[in-house]
Structure 1
Amino acid sequence: MDLENQTFISFTLLGLSEKPSLRMPLLSFFMESYILSIIGNVLILLLISTQSHLHTPMYFLLGNLSVVDVFLTSITVPRALYSLISQDLSISFHGCFIQLFLFHMAGNMDSFLLAIMALDRYAAVCQPLHYTTIMSKRTCISLLTFSWFIVSLHSTLFFALTSTLPYCSWVIHHYFCDVPAMFSISCTDTSVQQMVVFIEGSLIVMGPMLVILGSYVLIIRAVLKLSRSKVYSQTFSTCSSHLTVVILFYSSVIFMYFRPSSLYSAAYDWVISVVYSIITPMLNPFIYTLRNKEVKNAVKRVIQWVRKDGQKQIKDTEDED
């Protein structure tokens, strides 16, 4: 079937409906995870934008991470919720590949942001006297612009590789349109496309990961030379939080995209996708910021301000009466 005719076909996202008994538990899980992700990331954005002492490179990057995480979860979760509620599993040909493009762009931007944040921590710990120069606003914006450019090219390549394939089946055993799932329903040999995905994907994923690992090796080496136990403890606490999410994110991504096609399993792969597309964005605001003393103090100040404002309004109302 040629591409012109394929564009009038709708795919069926069967990933969440293959076990009807799990429909309500999945609906509850997706709904609660999405709400927590949105609330947590929006809260971080509000704190960073309203608290002047948080207008630093580290929190600027955290704010960008929150924006990308909201974007990432919103690409797949609302559509999955709609399918679970309405049981309408169809997605248009164009809608499917637009979702694939946006998902890979946001997911890889998450990876690049983790790398930039690691560089920020390296500059703060290992080059404290030159930190403001190294991580200036101009540098941060340049790194972010470069990252968006790279991930856009990456997503365009994946879009081209999958959207031009001939498909013999229109049933996708996944809850969103993703590269492995699309390859599995193509009626042509996709070994060349899979090789391109493996090679180019390795560069786009392993590059930021190596930056993260290299940054933390240097951070750990620098911290081990310090004799102050308080600094030692605080720095390793920050490292452990960051590395926890890095390991969770990258292990699931590597398992999903960098393995032989013979190991593809529709029954379990959507579960792996949930880890990096829903769980990690949901946990990011809690792991990266709510364990941070400055953010905790900012939250306390906002709560105190709200309480005082509420008490003042009640007092003004009582005086009027």
Structure 2
Amino acid sequence: MQRKNLTEVTEFIFLGFSRFHEHQITLFAVFLILYTLTLAGNAIIVTIIHIDCHLHMPIYFFLSILASETVYTLVTIPRMLSSLIAQNQPISLAGCTTQVFFFVTLVINNRFLLTVMGYDHHVAICNPLRYALIMSKRVCVQLMCGAFSTGLAMAAVQVTSIFTLPFCHRVVGHFFCDILPVIKLSRIDTTVNEIINFVVSLSVILVPMGLVFISYVLFISTILNTASAEGQKKVFAICASHLTMVMVHYSCASTDYLKPKSENSVEQDLLLSVTFTIITPLLNCAVYSLRNKKVKDSLRRAVGRNIS
């Protein structure tokens, strides 16, 4: 009876950055520049890895997938930019469901790809003679499909738990349909839904993060016991970019999705989401890729061919 008496909501309106009304044009310009740099940088990385045979290795295969999957930002950022110019643009219930599904799928897939890249480092350092056999093309494709399938399954669970709720409010206190802001729109008790969301979020953060940690413990112990001081320095330099991306990604994800409900604040949620959707993909390009010597050398060769 309670569900029947509630007014059915068929579309939502994003609150977004309306509380920063006097700065919206500035925010639009800054976000547009950052987003353009992100798309351009990652497009260059995918192209370079595809055309340069020197980069046809497992780690760069995963890096190209990671770079190409910045497409998940297409689900959120263009609408955010348009809302900074024209406010109160509605999104349908179906559109909101689709946005959550693709965003969660690709973010979780991204997370497990970082884990797979950590495993690749582990194999390269701990089993260099068997690296080509262990990280064969077939295995790489299987790992990629496994990461994507996990993202699909977890997204299906979360979307089902959220969008079976009856919604009584139309205003989303965010700039896209994220999980927690959408759950808040229901007036009925959402404890079960929040528990499901928390368990899924916890598992897709702790499991890949734990696997990365194990990989690093194993290969750090290996290089400390076998490599020279110069070799240790070289290995740590190679792994530094990956570790930076892992730390940024999981610190943002943990703070955003695992913090107590009582600690939620609109400003904090917006800042974390901007970091997660704009800054992190840009860091993927700047930190993980353009600091990589082989990628930079390949880029120089490509530019040199075009100039000549």
Kindly state the Cα deviation for residue 275 of structure 1 after the two structures are TM-superposed.
Answer: 1.4
Q: Deviations over 1:59-81 (max 9, x none)?
A: 10101001112x12111101111
The residue that corresponds to 1:64 in the other structure is 65
Kindly state the Cα deviation for residue 226 of structure 1 after the two structures are TM-superposed.
Answer: 3.5
SS in 2 for 1:15: coil
SS in 2 for 1:12: strand
SS in 2 for 1:203: helix
Counterparts of 1:90-105 in structure 2 under 5 Å?
A: 90-105=90-105
SS in 1 for 2:76: helix
Runs of 4+ in 1 over 4 A off after TM superposition: 1-5
Kindly state the Cα deviation for residue 10 of structure 1 after the two structures are TM-superposed.
Answer: 1.7
Task: Please state if 1:30 is matched with 2:41.
Answer: no
- Paired residues, number: 306
Change (3 A) 1:24 1:126: same
Q: Is the 8 A contact 2:76 2:99 kept in 1?
A: yes
The residue that corresponds to 1:307 in the other structure is 307
CA distance in 2, matches of 1:253, 1:227: 34
Task: Please state if 1:73 is matched with 2:54.
Answer: no
CA distance in 1, matches of 2:172, 2:74: 20
Kindly state the Cα deviation for residue 230 of structure 1 after the two structures are TM-superposed.
Answer: 2.8
Change (3 A) 1:235 1:6: farther
The one-letter code sitting in structure 2 at the alignment partner of 1:174 is H
Q: Is the 8 A contact 2:6 2:168 kept in 1?
A: no
CA distance in 1, matches of 2:63, 2:300: 19
The residue that corresponds to 2:51 in the other structure is 50
Q: Deviations over 1:276-300 (max 9, x none)?
A: 2211111102211211111111111
Counterparts of 1:82-161 in structure 2 under 5 Å?
A: 82-161=82-161
Kindly state the Cα deviation for residue 128 of structure 1 after the two structures are TM-superposed.
Answer: 0.3
Q: Is the 8 A contact 1:3 1:164 kept in 2?
A: no
Q: Deviations over 1:218-258 (max 9, x none)?
A: 12111212342332112111222211111111111111111
The residue that corresponds to 1:318 in the other structure is none
Kindly state the Cα deviation for residue 135 of structure 1 after the two structures are TM-superposed.
Answer: 0.7
Kindly state the Cα deviation for residue 2 of structure 1 after the two structures are TM-superposed.
Answer: 5.3
Q: Is the 8 A contact 1:82 1:88 kept in 2?
A: no
**Which structure's CA Rg is the greater one?**
1
Q: Is the 8 A contact 1:12 1:90 kept in 2?
A: yes
Gaps of 5+ in 1: 309-321
Q: Is the 8 A contact 1:109 1:148 kept in 2?
A: yes
Counterparts of 1:268-283 in structure 2 under 5 Å?
A: 268-283=268-283
Gaps of 5+ in 2: none
SS in 2 for 1:87: coil
SS in 2 for 1:188: coil
Kindly state the Cα deviation for residue 161 of structure 1 after the two structures are TM-superposed.
Answer: 1.2
CA distance in 2, matches of 1:275, 1:213: 23
Q: CA RMSD in A?
A: 1.7
The one-letter code sitting in structure 1 at the alignment partner of 2:18 is S
Counterparts of 1:137-286 in structure 2 under 5 Å?
A: 137-286=137-286
Larger mean Cα displacement after TM superposition, 212-221 or 110-119: 212-221
The one-letter code sitting in structure 2 at the alignment partner of 1:104 is V
User: Could you state the TM-score of these two structures normalised by the residue count of structure 1?
Assistant: 0.91
Q: Deviations over 1:137-195 (max 9, x none)?
A: 10011111112111101111111111111222111110000111012221011111111
CA distance in 1, matches of 2:4, 2:109: 33
SS in 2 for 1:91: strand
User: Could you state the TM-score of these two structures normalised by the residue count of structure 2?
Assistant: 0.95
Kindly state the Cα deviation for residue 3 of structure 1 after the two structures are TM-superposed.
Answer: 11
Q: Is the 8 A contact 2:11 2:92 kept in 1?
A: yes
Change (3 A) 1:149 1:2: farther
CA distance in 2, matches of 1:236, 1:3: 61
SS in 2 for 1:271: helix
Kindly state the Cα deviation for residue 103 of structure 1 after the two structures are TM-superposed.
Answer: 0.6
